[in-house]
Structure formats: structure tokens, C-alpha cells
Amino acid sequence: MPSIFSYQSAEVDWCEGNFERSTIIAEYYNTVNGTPLFSFLLLPPLNFLVLDGAGTSQGLCEDGALLTQAVLAGIFSVYFHMTLSYVGQLLDELSILWTLAVAYSFWYPKVYFPRCIKSRKHFFWLSGVTTVISTLMSFIKPAFNAYVLNCIAFHLLYLTWCELKKCNDKRVHRMAAAMVVWWVLAISSWISDRWLCGLWQAINFPYFHSFWHVLIAMSLLYCCPLVIYFDVNYEMPSFKPKLGYWPSDSWPVVVPYVALEEPHKQC
């Protein structure tokens, strides 16, 4: 039996041809495009650090946890596509699982807690236990993990829809629409690479998984400020969040962010 660290020992092999452009990188474009995924994942959590600078967020430990998971997700994605090893596959998928677990634990709105959960601390432990069990189950059929992780997006879309019904800010609705558009393009690329690989190989264009990396990162770039916006509304009622774009709204390529406006207090 091949070592679990061996090249091409993973259960999944994406559509891109292996070792066509390098003798040490199995999937060249999927590996290279893991780098912008890593970079994009670092940008949204920096919003939390900005809020910490204002002394208003829940703590640097939460921001550090999300930043650490973002770094690991990027590194493991690069490692997996470079080697296509079994260990790389597990690290890639489980790093995403744990990133989602961290985000849910810290920023899932309390109004959506199950009735049996009475505090954030209890929800944190529930998320931790669920994630550990999911991690152990992931070893049974790793190839199934990616489908399950993608399905979590539907829950996130449902939560976004619930929050948008309460919000009249047109800028929030526009940002949510942009997030959904990028996600639809991303999931379409992912499904195309998995289910239509023969077609793309026939026309010599098997690169849709590398598109997935960039497109899902763009979707997250809009998703994370929305999460921050809703979190501020729930956890920091004395502040008014405002969505913005850096460096300017008029630029074709922008980085969304959240600014805080402290309302004037009445005497």
C-alpha cells in the first residue's frame, strides 16, 4: 500500500492533468491558485482587527483563531494540490471544516441558537463537539467531505436571507447580492470540474477547479463583512455599522470593509 504521504495517494484527483508543467507539482494551476485563496482569506478577518483597535470586538483571541485557520486553509490547499496525497486531502478539507467551526462558534447570532442552548459558551462547546465528531467521521470517506462542506453554504445563504428581511440598507443588500453571484459562479466551476471533466479535457481546458479557488475567495471577501455587519448589530448596539469599499466605491476592484459610527448619546 502506498504511504498516506505519497504523491497521488488521495481519493480525489481533479480534472487538471498531473505533472504537466512541473515534476514536483501535481496540479500546477490548482496549486498556484491556492495562493490567492490564501491571500483573500486573510483580508476579511482583518476587519475584526480594525474593530479591536476601536476597543469594540469580542477579543483578539477570536480574531487570531480565524486568522490562523485562514492561514492553515491556504497552506493545506497548496500542499494538497501540489502532492495529491491522502494526508493533503484530509488537511485541506478538515482545515475548512475547522475554519467554519470557529466562525460559527464566535459569530453565529444568538437569536438562532437552539432552544436548549442558553449561552455563547454552551454553543461553543456544542460546535466543538460536533466538529470533533465530524472530523472523526471524515476519515471514513474523505471524498464525500467536499460535498458536505459545500452544502453548509446553503445554511449560510438561508441565514443571510433571514437577516436581509430585517435590514433596509440597500448597500447591505447589494453586498449580499455580490456574494451570491460570486458563490454561484464558484460552485458552478466546482461542479463542472467534478462532473464534466471529460468534456473539458476533450477541449483541453481542465482548469475549472482553479477558477473555484479564486471565485469562492471572492465570495468570502463579501461574505465576511456581512457577517461582521450583522454581528455588530447584535453584539454592539451602541455602534452603527456601515459597509464600505476600499479604496473607493468607484474602483473596479475593491476590498469590502465595515466601519463603525458611534451614535450621539442623548443626555
Name the 3-class secondary structure at 234: helix
* DSSP for residue 84: -
Contacts of 163 (CB under 8 A, 6+ apart): 109, 226, 230
Question: Kind and range of the H or E element at 241?
Answer: strand 240-246
Helices (H), the chain: 28-32, 34-42, 46-53, 60-83, 86-107, 120-138, 145-164, 170-195, 197-202, 208-235
Neighbours of 45 (CB within 10 A): 21
18 annotated to bind ligand: yes
Tell me if 173 is assigned to a ligand binding site.
no
Q: Give the list of residues 6+ apart from residue 58 with CB closer than 8 angstroms, or none.
A: 106, 235
Beta-strand relationship, 255-261 and 240-246: antiparallel
Give φ, ψ of 11 to 5 degrees: -75, -20
* Residue 122 among known ligand-binding residues: no
Report whether 209 belongs to an annotated binding site: yes
Name, in order, each residue with C-beta under 8 angstroms of 209's C-beta and a sequence gap of 6 or more: 14, 15, 16, 27, 30, 189, 190, 193
Is 204 annotated to bind ligand?
Answer: no
Sign of the Cα torsion 206, 208, 213, 215 reads: positive
The amino acid that residue 267 corresponds to is C
Q: Which residues are annotated as a binding site?
A: 13-14, 16, 18, 27, 81, 209, 213
Q: Which residues are annotated as a binding site for Ca(2+)?
A: 13-14, 16, 18, 27
Q: Which residues are annotated as a binding site for Zn(2+)?
A: 81, 209, 213
